[in-house]
Chain A
């Protein structure tokens, strides 16, 4: 265990060649090093050995599914999960003294890493209007003040209730219930910023907002596409599934602007071949695609499949499936046959021959799965790209059969479950009707605000109170300066949090920090010890129960905070048993079972080992969209272009980072050490732009509003990024993502396709010329 850093660590950049493989023994070493820096060997052991086990703690990291009970490793976690959980279980504590020592202004000048490293929040804190310091406040006063502010609003729609993907099903259900009983559908969530495009595209085409595959599907696919995702750093346990697929004879095509280590080779530290051997090659074929070229790639593949069918009628397409289960095929074929090969070449940077080789892989595969993540969703044309992926899957009937399907890979442990529980600003009437029937109040029907629109509303003064259930909204959101201005314009901001982050320092006139239990901790309520439930990326719902003593006796659980807030705010207005909910989460699950489809007998089924899996209608032969069939769509071709002298920037995480929280300044897979202020640029682009390694540049984004968005002082690192593109770390470069630069239909920020120019960094130590 080490003390928190007093000052920002001073490190300088060093660059080594990118790694060609992921995980292995170094992953174990790094995970243990970080864990033991944060907490004791005993706590580390308790956390890690119960993590992702039946009856244990669900990893608060990514949403990757667990193997079936009985098939789990004794160590069923990855390097990043181990760091994440022990980052929460840290023995470091933030007390009132800390806030006396550090003003809000001081904290606002600190890095994300420094703030996180200070440790766990231990008691409620308030920053009163005009003050620059947080000070202790009792729970009743804090929640009473928040309730008074809410009740004083001219309209419930002047409040926003944000949810992060860490929140449990129970907390999410209680939050949406409270918000709707209060009178608003303003329920933005982190989904708005990560897989919103997936949800919209899949709902429209397949009638389900969720992926259709299970781990067993992945294990037995003949061909898996990994598109716009970096499993080695963002979903490392996916590598185990990919390894099993490879050992079963499957092949993998990786499509990404960066040749990430985890796409190349995986050394499974739980297998001898991963410790002393060469590990498992992941991608059999790597397509070094330009950012945003995926739509053109899948359109080209679809055209090639149609032409292959022309050449050998009846042998390529699954006509039985297309005829019986789909709609729009003829129109789609007419459209996709017009795809222009020059446009494809420009959009993707790939040759026709490269794409034809992938077509051949497809033709040789009976079972195909496409996995994707934010490299697809965070583009203006994210929704059309996913629609085109669905077209691709449907052509050969790769839906609803074993070893086939669509696999959006979600990034935060319960991001999918929170949505299932009703955290969405546009919930359908069927859900609201069920709420009304169960609780006897009439929920508001007009749609509320998503994340982007919440920021706009705060900035314009239409929203005055912001409450966040977990997360770090200020750093996760785009257009950092605009978001910060929006938050500062609120009358009150409140965060239910385990650790300090920048969202606590960029706050409204009044700000509340409401410290809460973490996943690792025992949650004891009036009716005894509680567990919570979560839903992973493959729709499996299961329990999570911590084993450690809470970081402070003053912590309340998320459910308790929300139930108490509801009681303070609604004051008996709705006949909802908030006290009973707080005392026994089973009573919440009883209500969920009557409101949310698929959750019947929730309490009984979720306590079975491994929980239960929600059925996916697609796998039942049902397409619950408007046409009642799987829908072929015609998607306009898009050729992302950057003007002369500009590059297409994608923001991304480092390997040593969880969402907005960097653990160190290193990114060892990419060979970056000691600094996050780097921009990765293709050497050919560097030459064209007259840049050399080590040059310092400002990144300046281009947008229609003419506003200059600038990320200052980034060091150039030559890197095999796709020609014409660049990459830099999130959240440092969120400042470059215009708030209005969103995906069509889904309104998701386009953080993977920002046009930037690189300007030499001026000497800011000298006064600017008059």
Chain B
């Protein structure tokens, strides 16, 4: 679980690279990617990050996200769509560092995708948010997403969503909630013996 002073930790300014407290590089940016988009928002990193972790609120600003189920901290299900079309897919959060980074991958085999979002403080006191995504569809969809047009479309979509988020959080001014946990390899880490969500009945269930 993240410490409360995480936001004060030095966050390297190199996109996709970050060193944890033990000097170990935990991750690398997606080497292959279809899209990479960055937007700067006028709120502190902590505010931007905290709001981002409130996945259920994505439909409030997104043009394509209709519903998000938070199955548990490292697993969500997203319903996206345009017009009458809807598609639901489950997503595993693979890595998550408070105020810095979040990486995910879709659990569907086709189309498959993965992505990451990075939060960096800017000199003006705002936050640079970078989203990278890689689509790995199979079959006929594979040919479609290889086309430059599809890549441009995806990039435009991601950029549009980032701009929507920017307007949303700047308009709100402060986050509506926060999840400050850490995730490594798809598993929630914790720094307290009994974090609040673990306080459930522990006796045997026959």
Residues of chain A touching chain B, judged by Cβ–Cβ distance below 8 Å, are: 68, 70-71, 189-196, 198-200, 202-203, 207-210, 214, 216-217, 219-220, 248-249, 320-321, 325, 397, 400-403, 415-416, 419-420, 424, 426-428, 431, 596-598, 613-617, 619-622, 624, 628, 746, 748
Contacts and interface: CB of A to CB of B under 8 A. Distances in A.
B200 A598 contact: yes
Interface in B28-80: 67, 69, 71-75, 77
Nearest to B205: A209
12 contacts: A68-B77, A199-B204, A209-B204, A397-B187, A400-B186, A400-B188, A401-B92, A402-B107, A613-B71, A615-B72, A617-B198, A621-B190
B203 A214 contact: no
Contact of A202 (B186, B198, B204): B204
Given A196-B204, A597-B199, 8 more contacts: A199-B205, A209-B203, A216-B90, A220-B107, A419-B204, A428-B202, A616-B72, A619-B188
Contact of A402 (B184, B186, B195, B205): B186
Contact of B187 (A401, A597, A748): A401
Contacts of A70: 67
A431 B203 contact: yes
A240 to B, nearest CB: 15
A624 B194 contact: yes
B22 interface: no
Contact of A220 (B90, B193, B195): B90
Interface of B: 67, 69, 71-75, 77, 88, 90, 92, 107-110, 184-190, 193-195, 197-206
A597 B107 CA distance: 31
Contacts of B201: 209, 419-420, 431, 596-598, 614
A431 B190 CA distance: 25
Contact of B205 (A220, A325, A416): A416
Main secondary structure of the interface of B (DSSP, over half): loop
B67 A198 contact: no
B189 A621 contact: yes
A165 to B, nearest CB: 10
A244 to B, nearest CB: 11
A207 B201 CA distance: 10
Nearest to A431: B203
A624 B202 contact: yes
B185 A320 contact: yes
Contacts of A202: 204
Contacts of A401: 74, 92, 185-187
A419 B88 contact: no
B204 A219 contact: no
Contacts of A199: 203-206
Contacts of A248: 107-109
Nearest to A367: B107
A335 B135 CA distance: 45
Contacts of B200: 208, 597-598, 614-617
A321 B187 contact: yes
A198 B206 contact: yes
A192 B185 contact: no
A617 B202 contact: yes
Contacts of A198: 204-206
Q: Name the 8 nearest CB pairs between A and B, nearest first.
A: A191-B206, A199-B204, A598-B200, A220-B107, A402-B92, A196-B206, A617-B198, A209-B205
Contacts of B202: 203, 207-209, 428, 597, 617, 624
A110 B16 CA distance: 74
A620 B108 contact: no
Contact of A622 (B74, B75, B194): B194
A420 B198 contact: no
A585 to B, nearest CB: 20
A495 B185 CA distance: 51
A68 B107 contact: no
A616 B72 CA distance: 9
Contacts of B73: 619-620
Given A219-B90, A220-B107, A615-B198, A621 B206 contact: no
A198 B204 CA distance: 8
A216 B185 contact: no
B22 to A, nearest CB: 12
Given A415-B206, A419-B206, A402 B74 contact: yes
